[in-house]
Structure 1
Amino acid sequence: MDAVLTSPFFGLALTAAAWCLGVWVQKKTKWVLCNPLLIASLVIIALLAVFGIPLEDYNQGGDIIKMMLGPVTAVLALNIYYQRQTLKEYFMPVLVGCLVGSAASLGSVLALCRLFEMEDMLTASLLPKSVTTAIAVGIAESRGGAAGIAAAAVVLAGVVGAVFAPLFAKWFRVTDPVAQGLATGACSHALGTTKAMEMGELQGAMSSIAICVCGIFTSILALFM
């Protein structure tokens, strides 16, 4: 059993199985809260805790998956390429909207962390909450933050955005589909984009673009905070 648990295949197999379970639950329930990433994380944590499996054993394979975050970040550039016609048509709204959205996200987190006198490690982990996990983890770790906390903050921001994006658009009377899509993507990355696609084709396209553009802006702005 020790040989199995310390093998890289254990972490890889457990992660893949937990992810498949999360996808299955999400398809069955159709609930936004049943996000595959969230479910997979909870299942892995529960199994490690119940069976007393050391995190170091899981990380033998888990670190291999973490290593793929770099290539995944680079692949995001394809998204902008595929949406290049839409980006050309709405270039200035995208540029200004994503810049303001990124600055507002970073600024609000920094202000709240300073207000509650949180440790620098937690502040660094929470700052990139509104960008996709691949970028958020890199930003957090470069500032001395914890990858796990950063990933959890990203998931929470995504779930909240996916659930409340249509309500916020209604409450604040945001009727422009470009504004709806950019706001959703800027605040809640991929999870919010799934909801934006349900709101409309243009909203989904703009939210998809916002994921990439906000990731670039956030990476740059975080250097000065």
Structure 2
Amino acid sequence: MTERSGVYNELMSVWTVGPLLSIAMTLAAFLAAQWIFVRIRRPLWMPPVLIAAVLLSGVVALSGIGYEKYQHGARWLTALLGPATVALGIPLYQQMHHIRALWKPILVTLPIAATLAAVYSLVIAWGMGASPMVLASLAPKSVTAPIAMGVSEQLGGSVSLTLGALLITGVLASLFVDWGAKWMKVTDERIIGFALGLNGHAVGTARAFEISPTAGAFSSLGMGLTGVFTALFLPFMFPF
């Protein structure tokens, strides 16, 4: 009996101290969120990533594990964001024919839109008296997570706050795209998709693919180009 208890305690120690618990919790939250999303008839205001975040934060808080222990175990998942960043080159390559065909409007709209996506949040936060750390965290809020995390760290921001801003931005972009398109009488799925990718990153891209494959393709294009532009220019522009 004592020997069995020792083995059990050893297994539990490995489970809680190592990365297994954090990885299992993350995957379980994601699968549960997908199931709930289908059950509640896929509402735009509650995407699976938001459901998973709420479920996971609740489990971490109620179980007493603590954010620090969960983050330490989930560092293996965070390490995968590096390859995910490199993989953004794949959708860019796949949409190269769109870039060639529409390089003029893309060249004009992308720098303006990507800059405004960072500037308006900074202006609002600055007007409300936000600290430099908060400003640095909000600046890359419209960029896909792998790039946004690196930019936020480089600017001196909080990665946790940046990820929260990313989630809110993606959900709001997905929620208001239909209303905005109708209000401005935009029917071209290429424009809608590009706007979703530029402002809503991965969450907006998921919404774009629900609209049509064309919208999804242009959303991938917008997300990739915005990430590249922001990573190159935001660290130089932010001090000004």
- In structure 2, relative to structure 1, the CA distance for the partners of 1:196 and 1:59 (3 Å cut) is closer
Instruction: Say if 1:7 and 1:57, in contact at 8 Å, map to a contact too.
Output: no
1:175 Cα offset (Å): 3.5
Q: In terms of mean alpha carbon deviation, does 103-112 or 51-60 score higher?
A: 51-60
Identity of aligned residues (%): 31
Residue aligning to 1:27:
38
Q: Distance in 2 between matches of 1:105 and 1:159?
A: 15
How many correspondences in the alignment?
Answer: 225
Instruction: Say if 2:46 and 2:171, in contact at 8 Å, map to a contact too.
Output: no
User: Secondary structure, in 3 states, of the residue corresponding to 2:167?
Assistant: helix
1:213 Cα offset (Å): 0.2
- In structure 2, relative to structure 1, the CA distance for the partners of 1:221 and 1:112 (3 Å cut) is farther
Q: Deviations over 1:41-74 (max 9, x none)?
A: 2222111211211323222321111111111111
Instruction: Say if 1:103 and 1:221, in contact at 8 Å, map to a contact too.
Output: no
Instruction: Say if 2:197 and 2:205, in contact at 8 Å, map to a contact too.
Output: yes
Residue aligning to 1:92:
104
- In structure 2, relative to structure 1, the CA distance for the partners of 1:198 and 1:51 (3 Å cut) is closer
Q: Distance in 2 between matches of 1:110 and 1:57?
A: 32
2:25 maps to a residue whose letter is L
Q: Distance in 1 between matches of 2:162 and 2:136?
A: 8
Instruction: Say if 1:159 and 1:191, in contact at 8 Å, map to a contact too.
Output: yes
Q: In terms of mean alpha carbon deviation, does 134-143 or 51-60 score higher?
A: 51-60
Q: In terms of mean alpha carbon deviation, does 77-86 or 187-196 score higher?
A: 187-196
Answer yes or no: is 1:54 the counterpart of 2:66: yes
Q: In terms of mean alpha carbon deviation, does 49-58 or 212-221 score higher?
A: 49-58
Q: Distance in 1 between matches of 2:122 and 2:188?
A: 29
Q: Deviations over 1:161-213 (max 9, x none)?
A: 11110110111223343332222211111222233334344332221100000
Answer yes or no: is 1:41 the counterpart of 2:63: no
Q: Distance in 2 between matches of 1:179 and 1:36?
A: 25
* TM-score, scaled relative to structure 2: 0.87
User: Secondary structure, in 3 states, of the residue corresponding to 2:227?
Assistant: helix
1:137 Cα offset (Å): 1.2
Residue aligning to 1:63:
75
* Counterpart selection for 2:187 from 150, 175, 179: 175
Instruction: Say if 1:165 and 1:192, in contact at 8 Å, map to a contact too.
Output: no
* Counterpart selection for 1:107 from 119, 122, 147: 119
Q: Distance in 2 between matches of 1:163 and 1:32?
A: 6
Q: Distance in 2 between matches of 1:87 and 1:9?
A: 42
Q: Distance in 2 between matches of 1:137 and 1:34?
A: 23
Give unmatched runs, 5+ long, in structure 2: 1-11
1:78 Cα offset (Å): 0.3
Residue aligning to 1:83:
95
Q: Distance in 1 between matches of 2:103 and 2:219?
A: 13
* Counterpart selection for 1:216 from 223, 228, 236: 228
* TM-score, scaled relative to structure 1: 0.92
Residue aligning to 1:72:
84
